[in-house]
Structure 1
């Protein structure tokens, strides 16, 4: 009996010792039927700036090619062939994979051996199916509307609403069912790029992912994007119409400091005008602002210009700023830190100029980003 137990335990130990270690490299065995020798196959990925970055190249010989390498995690790449139109997205992972090229339509090519790729195919296939049903339902609604079939219009409208909701919900259902898969990272990236993304829902889905996914390089990249968008939304809230404008103070041309609050006390409404000497559109708009100021200053209009001079390569920014003030006849208050898009611009979520905010006497934003006749009409509406 003891001998039997010894053999059994020894067998179990040997079995555990022979378990396969996780693979640390990948191989793609490519089959390229009807592709000539010497044609190149390219592997690329999307770089930090959103543009394709070439990663590797293989050469077709005897209708075959091969890629080898190693990945720290499954990741989205693209394959394209020099003699074939288009490119195909593939989720690569450390495994032995087979790629069957469809020369007539590269998007019909098949990658086998990657679990992450299979999951993405499953996701894309289901989404496409829902979208095709939606297109048909919209056509049915249009047909019913044309013949004024109110009964079917109501039915089709209900189907359209359900399919739209299904398309919105499915990505998050898929993520919940694949919380330990790197395919979820790509789906979250897609959600962040969608027109009407739900940031809170995306953040919740991300937080529910397995820690190994959340703490990976692509997981942290998604987290940074979520955090960045959240900060941007908060900044937009701080300068939306109805909000109290962020307070600031900055040096005037003579070196003394002027605060926004000091200007607010002087008028009925105040325009904050973000501009710069180097900004062509700003300089072309200045004559219009001068005319509006001269017309409405006595009725309670104040303006404080915030100069964003000081960009890299600008010679003598203070001199350029002061010269532009004089040349353009800007007789209202002017301040600048001479630090390009400085903290004031960031607080107002200004990333392009000219940018304008109209404030009431209490500092509440009542209008923004108006130019030309629209700006004049708004000021007239507020002061006449």
Structure 2
């Protein structure tokens, strides 16, 4: 009897130590207090463009509804209910998920039972806190501005400066918040969601998000979403590096290209105290209209150290004789500075080196060959040349 008892205890201990199997399906238990019988609830998923697609429909019975199914990986999803305003955004994963619907404000409904939902909530709560601090500071600043408009004081001005610094700092925290979340939550599927969302925003720092992705655990990186994001990051990184190569403050990359006479000339050959790289073409109307201004600037400041190199993107299929069109435009517009072109349209290697997507495009270099400004025209271009020449 004693032996039976011992084996029973050992068996129970063995079973209790056995790891819980990973669930392969989800059950959503919805508690919809105040919602009438027969009202439909909808489970939707969001595609990568943010558009919603109905995945399943349930009918509310006795203020309850249920959804069941499977997902490959945790993903952002939406629940909406007829007669209830708004949507509930949440993270759907293979688990038992309990949702208590707030009929008055469905976005504030309580969701539990999903690890990725916990991260989703933590992210949104942290961001909301930063947003509130930002709004509160902005309101304080507006109040001080109103007081200063009716009479300045040293104390008010000092408080305004202090609040401005705090406001700037909190706005920077807001901007950095998504990236910092992914850096500190390397096991979270919601970090994948954030990375995918942020890298598709304008001016996203692709390099930082590439590093954040590389720091995620191997399961996340090798998931279907992870592999998609990895491929997307690789493509975006190429474009990011091309763009950042010619950012303001960087040394302008050297290049070589042929003149109309066939002589190869490099950027380094013609650099002056100030150098303008002017991407243009005979077929480009805005370029041609800006040329008289560039001619005027060159004639005024060339003797004081200004140099220009024009890079033509002639070579379109519509041009019967691209080189002749290029040469004719040089003569007609009286462009007396160095001109080069591979006559390869936007496939010109110099255009690709400088990430040229449209023309006219202008780069202004200082005496060290650093890019000091880009895409200035008219009076703004002349003012920058004068500034760099210290005139």
TM over 0.5: yes
Classify 1:86/1:347 alpha carbon distance in 2 versus 1 (closer, same or farther; 3 Å). farther
Q: Which moved more, 1:187-196 or 1:351-360?
A: 187-196
Q: C-alpha separation between the residues in 1 aligned to 2:252 and 2:141?
A: 46
Cα 1:360/1:14, change in 2 over 3 Å: closer
| Matches for 1:1-384 after TM superposition, within 5 Å | 5-12=6-13, 20-29=20-29, 34=35, 41=42, 43-47=44-48, 51-59=49-57, 61-62=59-60, 67-79=67-79, 86-99=86-99, 102=102, 105-140=105-140, 143=143, 146=147, 150=155, 153=159, 157=163, 160=166, 164=170, 178-187=185-194, 209-219=216-226, 238-241=245-248, 243-252=250-259, 257-264=264-271, 269-276=274-281, 279-293=284-298, 301-308=306-313, 315-316=317-318, 319=321, 322-323=324-325, 326-327=328-329, 329-330=332-333, 331=335, 332=337, 333-336=339-342, 338=344, 340=346, 342-359=348-365, 363-379=369-385, 382=389
* Aligned-pair CA distance for 1:368: 3.0
TM, length-normalised to structure 2: 0.69
1:117 Cα deviation from its structure 2 partner: 1.4
Normalised to the residue count of structure 1, the TM-score between the two structures is: 0.70
Partner Cα distance (2:375, 2:161) in 1? 43
SS in 2 for 1:340: helix
Contact 1:134 1:163 in 2 (8 A): no
Cα gap change, 1:334 to 1:166, in 2 (>3 Å): closer
Unpaired segments ≥5 residues, structure 1: none
Secondary structure of 1:358's counterpart equals strand
Q: Residue 371 of structure 1: CA displacement?
A: 0.7
Number of equivalent positions: 375
1:74 Cα deviation from its structure 2 partner: 1.6
Paired with 2:275 and 2:177, the residues of 1 have a C-alpha distance of 48
Which sits farther off after the overlay, 151-160 or 182-191?
151-160
Gaps of 5+ in 2: none
Cα deviations by residue, 1:327-356 (Å, 9 ceiling, x for unpaired): 573545131351525543343243343211
Q: Give SS of 1:185's match.
A: helix
